A and B are shown apart, each in its own frame.
Chain A
Amino acid sequence: MISKKVFLFFLVLAFMLGPVWVIQADEAEGTVALPRDDRNKDLDIFFDAEDISDPFEPMNRVFFQVNDKLYFWILKPVSTAYRTVVPKDFRQCFDNFFDNVAAPVRVVNNLLQGKFAGAGIDLSRFLINSTAGVLGFGDPALITFGLEPRPEDFGQTLGIWGLGEGPYLCLPLLGPLTVRDSAGFAGDALLHPGTYVFSNPVDRAAYYSADKVNMISLHPDLYEDMKRYSLDPYISMRQFYLDYRRNKLLDRPVRSNVMINEL
């Protein structure tokens, strides 16, 4: 499948990125191993109450309902139609593309958190995938080089810098957030190339929506499953979100959680 030229290109890149790769291999062990003790001092992994601050619950619940309606009236029908027309492989490629475009967000936030190896890995991923991966539609960085993304965002950076989580928020269109993460969202928007490519806010919104629709089309059942299994979906969503973000901040192994990003 891969032509000789592309393969040679891989080899050259592998040679150039060798050192980064070695660092990655070292760190990879760390991600598989159990969370380190010093990171867990303050958090009881054996399940004890953690504080949840939700003073805006009544307002949040209204917006949760708004998002729920948006999901069933717009997002779901659009993504279902899209899913039936576009084959899964293509949708996966688009997902890779959206992810690749957002690479500056990850690289800069890795740097801001002093995670230089992580920044190197995401930079390498960006370079490999933008070229050998044909503008980011493929992910040879992962498949051929085993370079797993190190998703860091500005919300986590602020957390590393010592800013508290702040109250929980559920905002229309944006979904679950904390006050810190909404500041993070704004910060990441400044790092996102889309902000500069699209001068028109409508175009930016279209790009953002396309990313979401594509993401939902790849994982169509998550939101509805969550609703099906819960007695109070608002609380369930809030808990999933806070668990997810708190784990990310501690760099525990989590995949990119799609349900959280969907709404």
Chain B
Amino acid sequence: MNYKKLLLLLAVCCCWFPAAAQAVSGPTEQLKPTLDTLIEILLDPALKGEKQKAARRTKIMGYVTQKFDFREMSQRVIGREWKDLPPEKQDRFQVLFTKLLENAYIGKIETYSGEEIQFIGERIKDNRAIVSTQIENNGQWLPVDYIMIKKAEQWMVYDINIEGMSLVRNYMEQFKSILRRDKFDGLVKLLEEKNSTFE
């Protein structure tokens, strides 16, 4: 092996190892850039205002879907019945539920105006993790926890707890009650109706 080849190998290693290290980085390190990008979009003056709403939402959802596992959320809110549903119904539900979360919660965070966010810790248990943050809100700290699951070295968010109140769990309980009464098709209809109220 001559000198040049060795140098090339070294160069390749240098480029490759940081990438490999990043791929197995912890949940906090993986969540941070996503939130930073979200904040950037929310504070971007070019995307502010009602007129820019569609463009802003598309951009936000583009980033959010990389780190938020809406499939996992859909599966969890439906519960046991999920695996009995044909794939096209699963997909239809995922689209509607993602839209509901977008309407409800992106709408909420759009009022963000530079409040401080602190990362205060993480806990990992097997392939699941909880990343705790707090956000400044009218002089108080509002605890927001991201619950994540590791899929192919990627930590994906599948629930958000605000002040310890689980968002996905809340919908799961509602859907459980609706599924019992109106079955899956009734739930889909209700979701469609709900989403149309945000337009």
Show the binding face of A for B, using Cβ within 8 Å: 32-34, 45-47, 52, 225, 228-232, 235-236, 238-240, 243-244, 247, 252-255, 257
User: CB distance A255 to B173 under 8 Å?
Assistant: no
**B177 contacts chain A at the CB level, 8 A cutoff:** yes
Output the residue of B76, B120, B130, B173 with the most chain A CB within 10 A.
Answer: B173
Query: Could you list 28 A-B pairs, sorted by A, with CB under 8 Å?
Result: A34-B121, A34-B130, A47-B76, A47-B159, A229-B104, A230-B170, A230-B174, A231-B171, A231-B187, A232-B174, A235-B177, A236-B170, A236-B173, A236-B174, A238-B173, A240-B165, A240-B170, A243-B165, A243-B170, A244-B163, A253-B134, A253-B141, A253-B163, A253-B164, A254-B143, A254-B163, A254-B164, A255-B142
Given contacts A47-B158, A235-B176, A243-B164, 19 further A-B contacts (CB under 8 A): A34-B123, A34-B132, A45-B123, A52-B173, A229-B100, A229-B105, A230-B170, A231-B187, A231-B194, A232-B174, A232-B177, A235-B177, A238-B173, A239-B169, A239-B173, A243-B165, A253-B164, A255-B142, A257-B163
Within 8 A of A (CB), among B73-131: 76, 100, 103-105, 108, 120-123, 125, 128, 130
Assembled-state Cα–Cα distance A244/B134 (Å)? 17
User: CB distance A239 to B76 under 8 Å?
Assistant: no
Within 8 A of A (CB), among B159-183: 159, 163-166, 168-171, 173-178
Measured CB to CB, the nearest residue on chain B to A237 is B170
**Chain A proximity of B158: nearest CB distance (Å):** 8
**B10 contacts chain A at the CB level, 8 A cutoff:** no
**Chain A proximity of B197: nearest CB distance (Å):** 8
**Chain A proximity of B105: nearest CB distance (Å):** 8
User: CB distance B174 to A247 under 8 Å?
Assistant: no
How large, as a class, is the contact surface on chain B? 35 or more
Other-chain residue from B166, B175, B187, B191 in contact with A47 (beta carbon distance below 8 A): B166
User: CB distance B130 to A46 under 8 Å?
Assistant: yes
Query: Can you list the 7 inter-chain pairs with the closest CB atoms, starting with the nearest?
Result: A247-B164, A229-B104, A243-B165, A232-B174, A235-B174, A34-B121, A239-B170
User: CB distance A231 to B191 under 8 Å?
Assistant: yes
- Given A34-B120, A231-B191, A255-B142: A243 and B174 within 8 A (CB)? no
User: CB distance B140 to A47 under 8 Å?
Assistant: no
**B147 contacts chain A at the CB level, 8 A cutoff:** yes
Assembled-state Cα–Cα distance A240/B166 (Å)? 8
**B190 contacts chain A at the CB level, 8 A cutoff:** yes
**Chain A proximity of B195: nearest CB distance (Å):** 10
Measured CB to CB, the nearest residue on chain B to A240 is B165
Assembled-state Cα–Cα distance A231/B190 (Å)? 7
A46 surroundings in chain B (CB, below 8 A): 125, 128, 130, 147
B134 surroundings in chain A (CB, below 8 A): 32, 253
A47 surroundings in chain B (CB, below 8 A): 76, 147, 158-159, 166, 168-169
Assembled-state Cα–Cα distance A229/B97 (Å)? 12
A257 surroundings in chain B (CB, below 8 A): 163
